[in-house]
Structure 1
Amino acid sequence: MHSKAFAPEYQGALTALSVNSSLTDVLEKGIQNLRAAEAAGAQREVARSGLAVAEAHRRLGNIEEADLAWKASYRAARAAGDLGAMAWALWSGGTLARQRGALALAFRLLGLAADLGKRGGDVVARGYSLAGLAETGRIQGDYQAVAALHEQLLAEARKRGEARHTVWALEGIAQIHRNTGSYDTALAMFEEAAEIAGAADDRRGRAWALRGMADIVSLRDDPERALALLGEAEVTCREMKLSSALAYNHKMRANVLYRARRYEEARQVYEQALAEFRAMSEPRGEALARLGLTKARAHLGRDQAETAAELGELRRTLDRIGLRHARDMVDKAHAELGVLPLETPVATPVAAAPDQEGERR
């Protein structure tokens, strides 16, 4: 039995906020409480309110503001000697680093957050930080290293009846199964995540689960059902102002159209997603949207030399971000499009992860 979903990152005077609260409302109330706490000299409350401000900015795609806010939250927590609040601030900073494509920094910050959560006795902060480490490793394609941690976190979440954390873990494990070709298992886990999220009123978690379901359904040649699932998820993304989730939703919509050989429609939606990722400075999503856009344009008659140049640049960009599956993704594009690379690869390809899920937290 799972409890109703709650948002532990909304703390102090903001605990009444729902996991489904509009991010613009969270930001407004967070700033209001932050200013009041600053005026009162209440450092612990400054840290807690600042965390909500940082997370609202991050999820709205306001990268610079989010960076300033989590650092200010950490400083206030440190001044108050609150290890748990310090852990939460570092979790926010690590999640932001992953969103920006700085994966090494994400690992460092999330590791520090997990340690502080343990030392401060904040079980939830530690759990979220470990989950962040697991997700960062999964995004890199390092499945062997993080699969066991995903399973451990799922077992702990089920034991405590924490719906939101259970949904997160199910979606992460499902994505690993999807990327390693176990589509039946992946679909079943995405469906379970969607059911739990729906029962727990976790609209964000359900939106991500619907996106995962749409991906598998599309791979099974049912594009119309996949588009319907994405349409349902998009309603939630727009109502809650989930900028990153909406951009990844649009990228998946473009993937579905591409698989259905509706290349002109796919091109248009890839361009839309690319603009959204660029607006929020999310390099991983931007690179993956560019890859899809390059493939769609190639099918629409783009010059092969231009396609080869774009693929070469994408290989370097994805390598720089630290995605270990990048070379394989680009190599598959070369093979699919019949375009020879402009330079010979110098490293051995690693396990493929055709399409990575975005930030769910």
Structure 2
Amino acid sequence: MYSKAVAPEYQGVLTALSVNSSLTDVLTTGTAQLRAAQRAGRLTEAAACGLAVAEAHRRLGQVRDADRAWKASYRAAREAADVAAMAWALWSGGTLARQRGSFALARRLLGLAADLGERGGDVVVRGYSLAGLAETGRIQGDYEDVARLHEQLLAEARRRGEARHTVWALEGIAQMHRNSGAYDTAYALFEEAAEIAAGADDRRGHAWALRGLADVVSVRDGDTERALALLTEAEATCRAMNLSGALAYNHKMRGNVLYRAGRYADSRDLYEQALAEFRTMSEPRGEALARLGLVKSLARLGRDRAGTAADLDDLDRTLRRIGLKHARAMVARAREELGIDAEESGTDANGLGTDANGSGANGLGTRTVGAAGAAR
């Protein structure tokens, strides 16, 4: 029913690259071909190679390089009057904006990409751009607004037999069910996604599905060892393909699993590792979620209530700036779980919740979120 997974963002002379190609290999090959196209004045080819370079940089967490690359790809496509190539570049830019926590910009760029994809007759980039809009809304917690779009895109992907897009849609819908407490439905959807990804040789999609299964197995069944085994399997893929963002989220999830099992010292170590990884790639959403797990682990290990309250207040402000509704609800649940009243605050006169060095009360540190980012 489903064909082998392909990577439509690898175009022109780069179509031989696999969806499972190592990102370092993609970057090396794409950069060489990009320079050759630029020297020869082949604008369409330069746009295509620039897109692959931008996506490799983005997935490696190299956000500044990714930003330069997608913009250069767009300029080349515009000069070549290639509407579809312009759409692909905008899709890459919108995806990067979401990864960096700039959700309004992400929606604007992805909306433009969808429109250009339709005008250029490229159904794939239109679908990817609409999927990006759906994922942006889902990440922000607007489930009611984007659930129908997820289902629509899933139906279209199934109809065309596009394994990679089907897997993405299944995982997005599964995540909404998981966050809404419908664990059995979430598990079934993650399981189907894992099966389709494995059959289509979509290793990235398979790794994300395994992460989702591990989450449900942990929270629903309390099966710590199986959850850790699933994450270990997914981590091997992340390392083989140099999926920096996916690896950081894998480590953050491992921290979640260990925390639920009451292994607070171990979870603290994993959250610290994930936090460092997210900060390296300027990924504010992952950073905030790792900080939340770290605050909870430290509280369980005996940290004072005032420091915990101060960091929860700071996280609440951070998540409000980012615009993550579901994550803010997680902070509220953390307060309840730890017995911390919302009024218990460690903020200073400016309401920053920081010490003289700009660090949170436990030294976790705060960052300005906005232009700062892993997406898939």
Q: With the length of structure 1 as denominator, give the TM-score of the two structures.
A: 0.95
Any conservation in 2 of the 1:208–1:360 contact (CA below 8 Å)?
Answer: no
1:233 counterpart letter in structure 2: A
1:79 counterpart letter in structure 2: E
1:317 aligns with 2:318: yes
- The change in CA–CA distance for 1:343 and 1:85 in structure 2 (over 3 A counts) is farther
Q: Deviations over 1:253-281 (max 9, x none)?
A: 00000000000000000000000000000
2:159 counterpart letter in structure 1: K
Partner of 2:262: 261
Partner of 1:244: 245
Aligned ranges 1:1-361 → 2 under 5 Å = 1-219=1-219, 220-342=221-343, 359=374, 361=376
Q: Deviations over 1:63-100 (max 9, x none)?
A: 10000000000000000000100000000000001111
2:266 counterpart letter in structure 1: E
Any conservation in 2 of the 1:309–1:342 contact (CA below 8 Å)?
Answer: no
Deviation of 1:173 after TM superposition, in Å, equals 0.5
Partner of 2:360: none
In the alignment, structure 2 segments of 5+ residues that lack a partner are: 346-372
Quote the Cα distance in structure 2 between the aligned partners of 1:327 and 1:229.
28
Deviation of 1:115 after TM superposition, in Å, equals 0.4
Partner of 2:353: none
2:58 counterpart letter in structure 1: R
Quote the Cα distance in structure 1 between the aligned partners of 2:72 and 2:98.
19
Any conservation in 1 of the 2:289–2:327 contact (CA below 8 Å)?
Answer: no
Deviation of 1:330 after TM superposition, in Å, equals 1.2
Q: Deviations over 1:75-130 (max 9, x none)?
A: 00000000100000000000001111111111010000000000000100000000
1:319 counterpart letter in structure 2: R
Q: Deviations over 1:35-75 (max 9, x none)?
A: 00000011111100000000000000101000000000000
Q: In structure 1, the residue corresponding to 2:325 is in which secondary structure? A: coil
Q: In structure 2, the residue corresponding to 1:325 is in which secondary structure? A: helix
Quote the Cα distance in structure 1 between the aligned partners of 2:64 and 2:15.
25
Deviation of 1:327 after TM superposition, in Å, equals 3.1
- Give the CA RMSD over aligned residues: 1.1
1:272 counterpart letter in structure 2: Q
Quote the Cα distance in structure 2 between the aligned partners of 1:203 and 1:320.
34
Q: In structure 2, the residue corresponding to 1:310 is in which secondary structure? A: helix
1:324 counterpart letter in structure 2: K
Q: With the length of structure 2 as denominator, give the TM-score of the two structures.
A: 0.91
